[in-house]
Amino acid sequence: MSPQRELLQVEIEEVEISGVVRMLNMLNTGILNQTLRFVGRVGGETRFKSGSFSSSHMFDPMNPDEAYAPRMAETLAKLRHEIEEDGWVETAKGEQSWALTFARAESA
């Protein structure tokens, strides 16, 4: 019987911050920013978390791009490196630059 492969999906989620911090960020930048991070999940279980980054993309906040989230690419690169260091191999890319799928064979 061939080994079953685990799949790891990179997703994006909002980081909960206090209302005071959110208001201070808005006052400092003049823009309502959203704090996001990437997570690597296997079957709904979070196995990896990136650092957070801010996005000011108002029209589609859960689909940021580099123009509205300057640290997004750097944050994703660090998470990707961490995932690959743990033995995962990228197998697919989604429509968004961050929608990645990784796989590895399960131990028998």
pLDDT, tens only, 85-102: 999 999 999 988 889 999
Average per-residue pLDDT for the chain: 81
pLDDT digits (tens, 9 = 90+) for 34-47: 788 999 999 999 99
CA neighbours within 13 Å on the CB side: how many for 11?
14
Q: What is the pLDDT of residue 44?
A: 92
Q: What is the pTM of this model?
A: 0.77
What is the domain partition of the chain in residue ranges?
Answer: 5-105
Q: What is the full per-residue pLDDT of the chain (108 aa) written as tens digits?
A: 455 688 999 999 988 765 655 556 555 655 557 788 999 999 999 999 999 888 876 556 566 767 777 888 999 999 999 999 999 999 999 988 889 999 985 654
Burial of 99 (0-12, 13-18, 19+ CB in 10 A): middle
Q: What is the pLDDT of residue 3?
A: 58
Nearby residues of 14 by Cβ (< 8 Å), 6 or more positions away: 34, 35, 36, 61, 62
